[in-house]
Chains A and B, each alone.
Chain A
Amino acid sequence: MGREQFTPMFEPAAIAVIGASANSVAAGNRYIRHLKAFGYAGRIFPVHPSAAEVEGLEAFPSVASVPVPIDYAYVAVAAPLVPDLLRSFAGRVRVAQVMSSGFGETSGGQALERELAQAARDAGVRVVGPNCLGVYCPRGRVTFTERTSNEPGTVGIVCQSGGLGIDIIRRGQNRGLRFSGLVTVGNCADVKPSELVEHFLDSADTSVIGLYLEGVGDGRGLFEVLRAARSRKPVVLLKGGRTAQGRRAAASHTGALAGSDEGWKALAAQTGTVPVDSLDSFLDALVALQCLQLQERPTQRVVLFGNGGGTSVLGTDALVRAGFDVSALDPGSIAALEALRLPAGSSVLNPIDVPAGALQQDEGRAAQRIMDILCSASGVDALVMHVNMTVVLSFRHIDMLGNLIDAALRTRNASPSRAHVVLVLRADGDADVEARRREYRQRAVGAGIPVYDELIAAANALSGVRHVEAYRVRIRAAST
């Protein structure tokens, strides 16, 4: 089966909608409205047994009566009707997605789910779902929910939960993520997550992959796909339901020691997949991997730079706990920083702590000079800059934060070592400060500088970056 088989689902030229009502608002109606609002430019064919028109579009009594081949069929009809419906798709539909619930996730629904999978095979149609919400792809102008960005990006997501899929899109886009596609997969009766991972691995539009999985008996397939990929694209995995289930009573020592989590930990170690354990850490890692160019050596030495002594101390603790080296700079770099004659209260060893006012000296060039020295210091793998927005925004006559972001960008672009540059924007919760943070975040992430709310999130995201870098070094070393 060709790996291009799922492209029609993300960028369909013709969509059939089964489960839209002629006189009320069903799931299919909402889907058609979302498509129209999102600017979908292809053709939509509502399928309805009796109505001539649905949502202002000509309706057809069956998929077979639609005049063109269907790339993607959206199915939201009662579960018992689904298998026969899928059989009617034979030769007419490339990929179908079944939103309906009432299959394997309910007691007594397993037989119907097996029937669905059999019907899919009989009809020669690949079926995503059942029990899911849909597909989002800004490039194909398809979406299954409202308020989704139409800006295409490079992050591809396979999500086993529909609701969490909406969270990933909405919270993710507000964090600066831009998606190549997101597919909710539900019960995975036919199409397995590993097949969609293969799709994203092969898709030229995708450079980072995120997975939310709960467990579908596809662990082995996923392991094999990821291992064969040799980390050619970074993958972040949020695994739900990491408690023991379905394991026989352990009859030996090893059985008792093997919790169901061990396999997922092993998968992370053996494939370079970044393991995370919350939605926020999932998004944090994806933002870093969307923005940063992975280095040839694992990120180890970090320079911390910003305003605020206590934050510098706590930030150093967070970075060291995450396994990074925040040791003092080399003597040459320290001398260069001292030559800048920073004001009293500054510290130049690492962390570099400079009062906000001093950063703006010499028409904003002071911060630029500091960052240039830090990024060219020998052995520095990453620069983490933290800014206390409450303080910085009190300098009302200048756009100090904008200048700092511009300086960070210039430094990153000029850095010979291409050290990672990461920004932490610390706010106080006031609405105006939050609004400014939002604005600066979009600007920085859009330019390729990942932004975090706190240092601990930055430290954890950087450790995800290091996980991938270190894996690549290990497999490279083993193959030479």
Chain B
Amino acid sequence: MKYRLIATAIALVVSPVFALDGDPGMHDPSTVIQAGGKFYVYATGGGLPVSVSDDGWTWRRAGSVMQAVASARADVIARGGNNTWAPDIIHVGDKYFLYYAAPGTQPKAAVGLLVGTTLDPNAPDYKWEDGGPVVWSDGVEDSNAIDPGVLRDPTNGTLWLTYGSYFGYIRLVELDPKTGKRLHPELKPVNVAINSEASVMIFREGWYYLLVTHGSCCAGGNSTYNIRMGRSRKVTGPFVDNMGIDMLQGGGKLFAGSSGRHIGPGHFGLLDLGEGVQKFSMHYEADLDRGGVSVLDIRPLLWRDGWPVAGDNVTEGTYEIESARTGTALEMAVQGVALGGGRGRGAGPPAGLGGRGGASAPGAPAAPSGPAAPAGRGGGAPQTPVPPQDAAAVSAAWPAGQVDVRMAPYMLQAQQKWTISPVANAGGYPGSPYFKITVAGTDRALASTPDAELVVLPAFTGGPEQLWRIDQLTDGTYRVMPKAVPNRKEPLALSAIGSSKPTLSTFRADGDRERWLLRAP
């Protein structure tokens, strides 16, 4: 199922949000990995700094990896150097393999391996064992062995490492899933790309994608870092971009560049949350909302025409919330008022006088007085524009208390327009804070009920049943979930069970029942 228009529509109202909360400052982050209900990420710096998050939104520092390494790592340092940069991590069986760059005098460098069984620094068995150097460059060959990226091939369980940085090639070697070390050290590495760094592969539907970072880093707002990609049917390449250019010849389709308040994205990492929800992590070289420092961010990962697309986290704005299943829009269940008044099919007076196709329902409140009666279909003088319908113009007829929620054809009416706003200090999920969803121009808040239905409350009071998680799915639609449903433990999602009935149900990735579009109202 394709929703090609979604990105265009959303682009009108969405821009990147503040990149995460807490202390997301870091450079060259690893893949974000989940363990024990927490999220972990590792980055460049003395001892390989560790950052941890309980929800994927608010991050804090948690020491460094090397604090838990007993070995002097002599072989790694001899092959490369004593720096610790740009790690990547993967969970294989009962082990975590953490690969890190150990450059000396570049391009003399090595990729070192650390092996652990838990990521929790407070666990009694927390420690990292030195696995020695995995690959290295001697300072003369066309390789700079830094920036490891690791892939577990889901088709056969094989393990692969890409590495390299500008000087010469991005290279690929196979690893032993049992040890994390090279499986065939006697074989020459495979060259897969040039002119790039921060490589990592992902796999989807028969394609291997090689994502790399082009451009320059480490210069704040003057960094030209951008993430590019090619794909191949074989893990060993050739990786070719959308124009047929081999990444060994500098090819690379743009995945993410600078945008909004963020300059220089680099070091892609896949965060697959399951059920059709994929996100990606990266760092920005400069977050202009944080003084231009380098920070981690997490954003939705979409797929279009066989290529990954960088999505944007939802930002504050007013939207139509449209069911992908039915095409009808979420609305507070009050009598609508036609914009501009009803019209007959032919020339005639406005609002309330019936006529095919344009009249308000019997008993509907009269439309606000508008301009003089226009000509009907087929002619007449140019007319005065009809203004957008604000809640203030029609809400006098709305009930004061709780109101049901339903769906209806989107008619640009006030009860169909929803303002989505982040809620401070309410926590979040990977990439975003929780939001409140209110009828635009009011404080009437969408909420879940104990029987897993929906209601609009007279005012937002901050309860978890009024907080919403909005994840963009890989097809560009959205999954909308309350933070909590009273008296229920299982997560539920906004669901369309008919053209006019929304409810809360278990999310099903195999259909459109729980998929929604956020459109400019």
Whether A associates with B in a native complex is no
